[in-house]
Amino acid sequence: MAEALSDHDETDSIDSVVPSYREEAMGDDGDIINSAKKMRASGLSYEKVKVFSDGKCAEEEAVKYNNFKWTCCKINDTEQGTKKYYKCSFKRGSNCPAKIYLLFHASNFEVTLFQAIIRHDHTRECKQTGIPIEVKNVIIELFQNGYTTPKAILSELDKLKIIQPKASQISNFLVTLRKKLYGPAQISLNCIKNWCIEKSIIPNDPDECFVANYYIKDDDANPLFRLFVTTKNLMKNCLNSNHVCADATYKLIWQGYPVLMVSTTDKQCAFHPFGMALCINEQTDDFEFIFKSLQITVEKLYNINYCPIILVADTSGAITNGFINVFNVIEKRIMCWFHVTKNIDTRLNAIKDKKMKTELRQDIEFMQLIKNETIFDAAIKLFQKKWKSKKCPLINNFIDYFINEWYMSNKGWFEGFAIGYPSSNNALEATNGKIKSLYTFRERLPVGEFLSVLEKDIIHQLSRERNVDDIVTSQNAKSFANTPSINLSLWTSTYHWIKEEREVIIMKNNDGKKMHFIESSSFQDNYEDFNKEFMKKLLYNQQNVNWCDFDIMKGEQLSFWECEFLNESENWIKSTCSCPACLKYYICKHIIGLAARYKLCSIPLEAKNIPLGQKRKRGRGAKAKKALIVQ
Ligand SMILES: [Zn+2]
Ligand SMILES: [Zn+2]
């Protein structure tokens, strides 16, 4: 062990030994995604019905072809040209199988209309059409009698022996109902406007709330309002980081309008808000307004051009577009992983085979922890190959959905996509939850009271909790952490890890960087000796994405961690490691353990006094594998 650590073999560069044959390796299975698409599209046969000389006429006719109502459902680029598909939508939520498409020929300006050889069927109804009108009327009555939550309404419907709609349907219906009952009529735009004007001056007190930006359009037919509130202390957080967390899923609702928080996180995964916005909607314009507010306020306060490069959000395209409209570029668009899991789990419920479902979920969780994009892309292909080969229609459906939604459209949810940045917005969600329970935030407050709560109870408090300069609050203030923290339990697990005496090999990686390669706890489930030969083979496979089986790849990737250790007295804590803990929390027992072995830090006595638990198991064990995935 000590030998391995002191081995500074500088000449042993993997790069010079291994020829690259990337092209060949890709050729075999590089087309999986394309062929999957073709298979799906080939379900219906189409016949040619009409040729148009220009696209506009074609589109105008297509939407009312044969006196049916057609809506565009997808667009495909093919060799012949772009195909724009329409489905029959005789009624909202209908499920008629009839389809047509327009082919915009690639080689000339003609457009051809094709129709699927299948009959219309207007008897089928999608089960999720909505709440029947009779039930809606009952809900309205219940609502007016004080049953204002989905739970209360469900229980009343049960008593009345009325078939319950889904709770989510009721919840959506209540939002519309509230808007109808109390909406714009009760909100005096004048009241909001006067408040905004009054609060627009930037106060001296760093924790006093002010309106950084507002937009009010007093138009009877189409009134609009947007406002952004913050404090000087909260705005400081903009200077500390270059990523923004904004999420339309995690929000507060007031009178049916979204109250959105924009924020960032620090190296201890703590949450730091910039401020809050009240908007009439969640469209691109609204997010553009929010980001613009940040930009002009930073400019005003610090004379700095604020330009974050990374956005963490749910799938909302409006947030992305709003961000780009203000900051021009977006380097990385991180997809909130919790948002992904929520969606995936709903879809996975269609698969009845429990064992399959669990394994699928574990494979996806493994992919979430992948350390870079090249490996991730390879993993996705192998994952698709593995599960498609089971030839199970339900699984095929899921894989198609997964690839389409969470690879082709939104892939920024794995850790290696942006190392050192959060992969989810759960800190934001937790804070919203706290605001709901701790502060006096109520969905139905009259406008004057709401603005006062926003100012005094929410914004002022969030700012106050983070004031490190004020002698009164500094003891408990949540300061912005630029390095991760090490608590007692992490010291203890570090101490245990050192005692386990895992192999550590120092070698150059594929980029020529000197790395510490660490034997993982699941290494011995699959392999014998953790040595240079083994690591060379694995690095070769990694460099050339030289895998043809998902599970083999998974086993290899989980057998070692790659640690770029900074052997410097001050900076070692900024080292990086590819293990799951470090990807999520920016610090791990491996980094601290190496630091301890290089005598850059010492493990506190109290951590050593906690008795070692069960000794590490030698040899194969299904339990060890599971523990790793959960870790
Ligand atoms: Zn139809
Ligand atoms: Zn680690």
Domain extents for the chain?
44-116, 133-186, 199-253+260-334+426-464, 337-417, 483-630
The SS3 of residue 552 is: helix
For residue 369, the ligand closest to its alpha carbon is: 2
For residue 91, the ligand closest to its alpha carbon is: 1
Q: What is the pLDDT of residue 27?
A: 34
What single-letter amino acid sits at 530? Answer: F
- Residues 19, 20, 26, 27, CA torsion sign: negative
- CA–CA dist 139, 148 (Å, integer): 9
- How many CA atoms does the CB half-sphere of 63 hold within 13 Å? 7
The SS3 of residue 219 is: coil
In terms of CATH architecture, what is 199-253+260-334+426-464? 2-Layer Sandwich (3.30)
Ligand 2 ion local residues (Cβ < 5 A): 561, 577, 579, 582, 588, 590
- CA–CA dist 330, 193 (Å, integer): 33
- Compute the distance from residue 14 Cα to the ligand 2 centre, in Å: 22
pLDDT in tens, 7-19: 444 434 333 222 2
Q: What is the pLDDT of residue 146?
A: 78
Helix axes 354-368, 393-403, angle to 10 degrees: 20
Contacts 24+ apart (CB under 8 A), 193-197: 193/218, 195/451, 196/227
pLDDT in tens, 150-202: 888 999 999 888 888 988 888 888 878 877 766 544 567 888 899 999 999 99
On whether the CB atoms of residues 306 and 238 are closer than 8 A, the answer is yes
Tokens of residue 6, six digits: 């002191």
Profile the chain (631 residues) by mean pLDDT over runs of 10 residues. Answer: 42 33 32 38 81 87 90 81 86 80 85 91 67 89 84 89 87 80 65 92 95 87 88 94 89 86 93 93 93 96 94 92 94 94 92 93 97 96 96 93 94 95 88 77 80 90 90 84 92 92 89 91 85 92 92 94 91 94 95 94 87 49 36 30
Can you name the residues that pair with 616 across neighbouring β-strands?
A: none
Distance between alpha carbon 156 and the CA centroid of its chain, in Å? 37
First and final CA of the chain: distance in angstroms? 25
pLDDT in tens, 441-451: 777 788 888 89
Tokens of residue 362, six digits: 């574990």
Does the domain at residues 44-116 carry the CATH identifier 2.20.25.80? yes
For residue 593, the ligand closest to its alpha carbon is: 2
Distance between alpha carbon 548 and the CA centroid of its chain, in Å? 29
For residue 562, the ligand closest to its alpha carbon is: 2
Q: Any idea what DSSP says for residue 419? A: T
- Compute the distance from residue 409 Cα to the ligand 1 centre, in Å: 29
On whether the CB atoms of residues 259 and 252 are closer than 8 A, the answer is yes
- Compute the distance from residue 243 Cα to the ligand 1 centre, in Å: 47
- Compute the distance from residue 65 Cα to the ligand 1 centre, in Å: 11
Q: What is the pLDDT of residue 437?
A: 73
For residue 94, the ligand closest to its alpha carbon is: 1
Q: What is the pLDDT of residue 601?
A: 92
Give counts: helices (H), strands (E), the chain.
27, 17
Q: What is the pLDDT of residue 628?
A: 34
Instruction: Give the count of beta carbons closer than 10 Å to the beta carbon of residue 361.
Output: 16
Q: What is the pLDDT of residue 447?
A: 83
Instruction: Give the count of beta carbons closer than 10 Å to the beta carbon of residue 290.
Output: 27
Q: What is the pLDDT of residue 497?
A: 93
Q: What is the pLDDT of residue 148?
A: 80
